[in-house]
Amino acid sequence: MKISNETIIEMYEKMVKIRKFETRAMNLFAEGQVGGFVHLYIGEEAVATGACESLRDDDYITSTHRGHGHILAKGGDMKYMMAELFGKETGYCKGKGGSMHIADATKGILGANGIVGAGHNIATGAGLGIQYKGTDQVCACFFGDASTNQSTFHEGLNLASTWKLPVVFICENNGYGISVSQARHQNITDISQRAVSYNIPGITVDGNDVFAVFEAVQEAVARARKGQGPTLIECKTYRWRGHFEGDPTVYRPEGELEQWKKKDPIPRVEKYILDNQVMTQAEMDKLNEKIDALVEEAVDFALASKFPDISSAVEDVYTDIVEEGRSR
Amino acid sequence: MKQMTYGEAIREGMRIRMREDENVCIFGEDVGAFGGCFGVTAGLFDEFGDKRVRDTPISEGVIIGCAVGSAATGLRPIAELMFIDFLTVGMDQLVNQAAKMRYMFGGNISVPMVVRLPGGGGVSAAAQHSQSLEAWLTHVPGLKVVYPSTPQDALGLMLSAIDDEDPVMFVEHKAMYGMKGEVDDVIVPIKLGVGDIKRAGTDITVVATGKMVHEALKAAAKLEKEGISVEVIDPRTLYPLDKKMIFNSIEKTTRVVIATEEVKRGSFAGELAAMISESCFFNLDAPIKRVNALDTPIPFAPNLENFVLPNDVDIYNAVKEVMA
Ligand SMILES: Cc1ncc(C[n+]2csc(CCOP(=O)(O)OP(=O)(O)O)c2C)c(N)n1
Ligand SMILES: [Mg+2]
């Protein structure tokens, strides 16, 4: 399949955006400027990027605790994301969510999620909503390898396949659920095999190859739009950082990270871009500088923003005991 | 006496029983070599090996289910959920299975299991990792619910929890794991259903649980300087509950404030208040007052979270109000 230069540049830009946004977030966490749980996606950028390239603004995604990449790839705005990481009122969720709970309804982002496995069923529900209304939208469901051991994986795929719902299940197999390697949490190596139980297509791709992810998801999205039901796509990848910032990653075999770093998805695209004259080195450098500036702009925006007003604590939920507001 | 953190005390309780009884085992997510998300099981894997300290897949349903099934067949499992919030995922195994079996089967089967449940907020963990869900548990006949506030209590209660023939829900406050305290050299189990007077006083009773015990003690110290003598009672186990200790204290002080970190609506604090008004109504010189979290999910932003969660100032204010 021939992928257009425009698409390649767009994907490259997104991957670099994710990498740079997260590297900045990593440093901000280390400096104590950003708190709570921060799960980074560095090393896995090709998955969200390749997958979201086939999605339209009106398509949906469900995300995970490791959500920054999905949100950026689906068109999320760095400024509001960064502000949310800081817990500022200008953040996507007015500071109520933090890194682990970012949503943007205008972009179909049904939220990063702190409950492992919750997305399988939410995505299935989004698929039901789409089918019910008869549009040709789809929902892409991102989830980790270890989440496939939750009952929701079975429940979601079973129902989505039975009702032929327009859902693309995209497994980010980074080989671990926190400290527990895949071999220690399930008896299979290719999660795509599980598609057999639901009589749907299942495919495993190199999750560090953005083109491979793009092609697989594009086909699955096309099937879903035509009413042919869900697909399970497993993307083999690796997270470079600890499970969350602060995790010492003692469970990693020596050399494993280094091996994966050699498969860094970004230089792979850069090489392709140069080899095929999609962009010149100078153009790529310029793009990188532009993204650096965007990230700094986002940080400045977040820093300049205020923490939410205390009165907002009782907003966005129905509550009739607001008179109990603190008298401190 | 020795110094121990709250987390170390919980671990020590498990270690003691594991050394004595090979049927005591631990399983949960990342509890093995990783030592648990909060480091509570650190070192136990090295001491007892992977047969007795097991990492499970991320499957709370089968974590609790495995505790039920293995307890029903002779083990004394300690299951760890990484956060109490994940109870939702394993709730059927807990509520419809673990809690019901002994009764429903007329005593044929008992399930001596412990489920460790890190709860509470204050660490910017936001809505899905900060809840205080103890009322869900105290609502269910068949479950016992423990909530220690000090290292000493954590240790003694862990021993009793493991010894118990029924499922015991062991609620821990995640912001207290590093808190140090004195622990007796002679270690004895603390009976479930026996509260503790954390500070004796005469003017007003504050019944508090978990981390709120410390907030209450802070408030009490301040109030003492203003001439108000506060008695702080920590029930330590929410069910069975040491009603007698609470009622006796109220008989003496005639006033009461209840402080828990839960959302007020439908809380265990509400149960306490109802019980007190049923039994102590004519002893009370002022209405009961509760100090709880606001009626919202827990927000991420530190200033909002701080506002939503109750603290020593709220207890102080409540006491002043009840004393007025
Ligand atoms: C229901 C539930 N159980 C446990 C956790 C704690 N937890 C958060 S992320 C995680 C590991 C998830 O692994 P995986 O699904 O492979 O995603 P990855 O982190 O590797 O991207 C665990 C155990 C949780 N958040 N929710
Ligand atoms: Mg994983």
**Does residue A88 line the site of ligand 1, with CB under 6 A?**
no
Ligand 1 center–CA A74 separation, angstroms = 22
Instruction: Ligand 1 pocket test: pick from A64, A116, A150 the residue with the most ligand atoms within 8 Å of its Cβ.
Output: A116
Tens of pLDDT, residue by residue over B225-235, are 999 999 999 99
Task: Return the pLDDT at B322.
Answer: 98
Q: What is the dihedral of CA B98, B99, B103, B108, to 10 degrees?
A: 20
Q: What is the dihedral of CA A141, A146, A147, A149, to 10 degrees?
A: 130
The closest residue, in CA terms, to atom 15 on ligand 1 is A144
Task: Return the pLDDT at A328.
Answer: 78
pLDDT over 80 at A322, yes or no? no
Q: How confident is the model at residue B25 (pLDDT cuts 50, 70, 90)?
A: very high
> How much is the pTM?
0.97
DSSP A102-160: --BGGGTB----SSTTHHHHHHHHHHHHHHHHT----EEEEEETGGGGSHHHHHHHHHH
Return the domain boundaries, chain A: 5-306
Record: fold of A5-306: Rossmann fold (3.40.50)
Integer-rounded Cα Rg, in Å, for chain A is 20
Tokens 């949490």, located at residue: A185
Q: Per-residue pLDDT averaged across B29-42, rounded?
A: 97
- Chain B residues 11-30 with CB within 8 Å of chain A: 29-30
Tens of pLDDT, residue by residue over B250-298, are 999 999 999 999 999 999 999 999 999 999 999 999 999 999 999 999 9
* CA separation, residue B126 to residues A99, A110, B137, B144 (Å): 9, 17, 21, 27
CA nearest to B56, candidates A184, A284, A167: A184
pLDDT over 80 at B159, yes or no? yes
Ligand 1 center–CA B29 separation, angstroms = 9
Q: How far is A65 from chain B (nearest CA, A)?
A: 11
pLDDT over 80 at A325, yes or no? no
pLDDT over 90 at A310, yes or no? yes
C-alpha span between A303 and A90 (Å, rounded): 10
CA angle B101/B105/B111 to nearest 5° reads 35
pLDDT over 90 at A324, yes or no? no
Q: How confident is the model at residue B37 (pLDDT cuts 50, 70, 90)?
A: very high
Ligand 1 center–CA A12 separation, angstroms = 28
Residues of chain B positioned with their CB less than 8 A from the CB of A180: 29-30, 32, 34, 55, 57
Phi-psi label, residue B210: left if phi above 0, alpha if psi -120 to 50, beta otherwise: left
CB proximity B50 to A under 8 Å: no
Average pLDDT, chain A: 97
Q: What is the 3-state secondary structure (H, E, C) of B84-138?
A: HHHHHHHHHHHHHHHCCHHHHCCCCCCCCCEEEEEECCCCCCCCCCCCCCHHHHH
Domain at B196-323: CATH architecture: 3-Layer(aba) Sandwich (3.40)
C-alpha span between A100 and A37 (Å, rounded): 7
Tens of pLDDT, residue by residue over B178-229, are 999 999 999 999 999 999 999 999 999 999 999 999 999 999 999 999 999 9
Q: Tell me the helices (H) and strands (E) count for chain A, helix number first.
A: 11, 7
Tens of pLDDT, residue by residue over A93-151, are 999 999 999 999 999 999 999 999 999 999 999 999 999 999 999 999 999 999 999 99
Contact A96 B29 (CB under 8 A): no
Q: How far is A152 from chain B (nearest CA, A)?
A: 9
Residues in contact with B228: Cβ distance below 8 Å, sequence separation at least 6, in sequence order: B203, B204, B319, B320, B323
B2-183 and B196-323 share one fold = yes
**Continuous segment of H or E residues that includes residue A318:** none
Q: B interface mutation test: which of A151, A188, A316 has the most B CBs within 10 A? A: A151
Q: Per-residue pLDDT averaged across B138-157, rounded?
A: 98
Tens of pLDDT, residue by residue over A2-17, are 899 999 999 999 999 9
Tens of pLDDT, residue by residue over A199-250, are 999 999 999 999 999 999 999 999 999 999 999 999 999 999 999 999 999 9
The closest residue, in CA terms, to atom 25 on ligand 1 is A115
Residues of B marked as catalytic: 129
C-alpha span between A72 and B95 (Å, rounded): 40
CA angle A202/A205/A211 to nearest 5° reads 125
**In the structure encoding, which two tokens stand for residue A132, read together?**
């019910």
Task: Return the pLDDT at A320.
Answer: 83
Tell me if ipTM is over 0.90. Answer: yes
Task: Return the pLDDT at A326.
Answer: 76
Residues of chain B positioned with their CB less than 8 A from the CB of A100: 126, 128-129
Residues in contact with A199: Cβ distance below 8 Å, sequence separation at least 6, in sequence order: A161
**In the structure encoding, which two tokens stand for residue A139, read together?**
């929902």
Ligand 2 center–CA A143 separation, angstroms = 8
Instruction: Ligand 1 pocket test: pick from B82, B86, B129 the residue with the most ligand atoms within 8 Å of its Cβ.
Output: B82
Query: Which one-letter DSSP state was computed for residue A313?
Result: G
State the amino acid at position B265 in one-letter form: R
Give the number of other CB atoms < 10 A from CB of residue A239.
Answer: 21
Q: Per-residue pLDDT averaged across A279-303, rounded?
A: 98
Record: fold of B2-183: Rossmann fold (3.40.50)
Task: Return the pLDDT at A39.
Answer: 98
Ligand 1 center–CA A144 separation, angstroms = 8
Task: Return the pLDDT at A321.
Answer: 72
In sequence order, what are the beta bridge partners of B136?
none
- Ligand at shortest distance from the CA of A39: 1
Return the domain boundaries, chain B: 2-183, 196-323
Contact A307 B303 (CB under 8 A): yes
Q: How confident is the model at residue A323 (pLDDT cuts 50, 70, 90)?
A: low
% of chain B with per-residue pLDDT over 70: 100
Q: Per-residue pLDDT averaged across A282-296, rounded?
A: 98
Q: B interface mutation test: which of A143, A145, A148, A184 has the most B CBs within 10 A? A: A184
**Does residue B80 line the site of ligand 1, with CB under 6 A?**
no
Report yes or no: B284 and B255 within 8 Å, Cβ to Cβ: yes
Q: How far is A47 from chain B (nearest CA, A)?
A: 22
